[in-house]
Amino acid sequence: DAGVIQSPRHEVTEMGQEVTLRCKPISGHDYLFWYRQTMMRGLELLIYFNNNVPIDDSGMPEDRFSAKMPNASFSTLKIQPSEPRDSAVYFCASSSRGYWSGYTFGSGTRLTVV
């Protein structure tokens, strides 16, 4: 299995631009999680999906952030407009049994907003 695949690996964008991060979970995993990691705040849960349905988006920081999962093999996290404080590493993770079986993380997207 190729694991959880995220793209792009790195993204540098100007403040105010729209940014779209992509994730392909492991086939057969029904749970998908988006996390953000910074030195100051560590790993923060943004949103998670079960069977393509958003279950908890209480971690999404602002309306500028949105996430979708149109099918079982693809999810996007969009930031519009982006701000410098959004700079972080964004991880997607998937799981077959929620958190019980542990997560498999993707390689992450390092976002820099200048």
Partner 1 sequence: QKEVEQNSGPLSVPEGAIASLNCTYSDRVSQSFFWYRQYSGKSPELIMSIYSNGDKEDGRFTAQLNKASQYVSLLIRDSQPSDSATYLCAVNNQAGTALIFGKGTTLSVSS
The token duo for 112 is 């820099």
Q: Give the nearest distance from C-beta 81 to partner 1 in angstroms.
A: 27
Candidate list 43, 80, 85, 114; residue touching partner 1; CB under 8 A: 43
Bridge partners of 70? none
* Exposed/middle/buried for residue 96 (C-beta within 10 Å: 0-12, 13-18, 19+): middle
Among 11, 21, 26, 33, binds partner 1 (CB under 8 A): 33
d(CA 23, CA 104): 12
55 binds partner 1 (CB under 8 A): yes
In the set 36, 48, 60, 111, which binds partner 1 (CB under 8 A)?
48
User: Residue 55 contacts by C-beta under 8 Å, 6 or more apart in sequence?
Assistant: 48, 49
25 binds partner 1 (CB under 8 A): no
Binding region for partner 1 (CB under 8 A): 33, 35, 41-43, 45, 48, 55-56, 91, 98-100, 102-108
